[in-house]
Amino acid sequence: MPTAYSFPPPDAEMAALGYRTRVFGVSADSAGERLDRFLARVTGLSRGRARALIDFGAVWIGALVRRKQSLELAAGDEVTLHVPLYGPVHFYEADPGRILFEDRHLLAYDKEAGIPSQQTPYDGYNHAFGALGRLKAGEYLALHHRLDAPTSGVLLLAKDRTANLGLGRMFEQGGMEKTYLAVVAGRPAAESFEVDRPVSKRAGEYYCPEDGRGKPARTLFRVIGPAGGPEGEWTLIEARPLTGRTHQIRLHLTAAGLPILGDLAHGGRPYGRLMLHAAKLAFNHPVTSKRVELIAPTPEGF
């Protein structure tokens, strides 16, 4: 069974805080106090541990992450600690062997399942964009799209500002041809089918509204073949999203009665990982206009 990237085990001190997110108001009596001293005092953590969390990118004031230990707080500030359950541990670095393509303007990386594409509120270190920035220290990098953390496959970045405008337009206007692979429970009635259902967000969760409201979303699907399973009922499917909504493929397959294995958020059966892989990006190079096809090798188990 294929598994997602292996994260460190839970940290007892972090678990003892009791919540994934904790918010602390700064009173008039605390105005002028350093951020590291304040965080240590209100959480009961050591000052060194508090400083490590600040450096980790887990501490925010208002809507902004703050990494300055000596920052003086003002009355009325809200300090939010997004608790990393594994603690402020630096465990992920990009693997140069997973770089799929690189020239002066672009870099493509085969992202592992389980790794976020960019910073999460609780972790400013262990993500693909940050790790590639460390690998390419001193070089410019810009991220124009994201893969869900459980999804593996092609992640494309700009290495030069001259590529930004063209890449942005392609992702926004449909000039980027995207192909995914998914393993689902069940067998479609047709060898190819289409789902045209809008995507919306409610209480922090993405869904397809029954009333048709939301952002338009359309995906083309094609059956590749059987994919095994305990009773032979799993199917390997190719998905081509014509729009780029968050969780689009996952939601559309669930709407078709074919939830992806491992997609617990949308009705899928438990599995070692989300069985969704961004297999291919095809586009005209935003600077040279040459045709580019980026292919991420099919993961074991697909």
3-state SS class at 149:
coil
Q: What CA–CA distance (Å, rounded) separates 19 from 29?
A: 25
Region 238-252 average pLDDT: 95
- Considering only CA atoms, which of 26, 79, 14 is closest in space to residue 52? 14
pLDDT confidence bin for 300, thresholds 50/70/90: confident
Region 250-269 average pLDDT: 95
* Structure letter (DSSP) for residue 162: G
Count of alpha carbons within 13 Å of 98, Cβ hemisphere only? 19
Domain with CATH 3.10.290.10 in the chain: 12-82
Region 81-105 average pLDDT: 97
For residues 125 and 38, is the Cβ–Cβ distance under 8 A?
no
Catalytic, out of 148, 160, 196, 211: 148
Domain 96-295 CATH assignment equals 3.30.2350.10 = yes
Q: Please state which of the ranges 67-76, 105-114, 207-216, 236-245 shows the lowest mean pLDDT.
A: 207-216
Domain with CATH 3.30.2350.10 in the chain: 96-295
Residue 130 has pLDDT above 70, yes or no: yes
Helical (H) or strand (E) element with 89: none
Residue 20 has pLDDT above 70, yes or no: yes
Could you report the per-residue pLDDT of 183-201, keeping only the tens digit for each?
999 999 999 999 999 999 8
For residues 202 and 196, is the Cβ–Cβ distance under 8 A?
no
For residues 237 and 207, is the Cβ–Cβ distance under 8 A?
no
Interacting residues of 224 by C-beta distance below 8 A, sequence separation 6+: 181, 235, 236, 237, 238
Facing residues of 225 across strands?
Answer: 236
E strand intervals along 186-233:
192-196, 200-202, 205-207, 218-226
Q: What fold, for 12-82? A: 3.10.290
Query: Any catalytic annotation for residue 148?
Result: yes
Facing residues of 155 across strands?
Answer: 109
For residues 287 and 162, is the Cβ–Cβ distance under 8 A?
yes
| Residue 287: alpha-carbon gap to chain centroid | 27
Helical (H) or strand (E) element with 255: helix 248-255
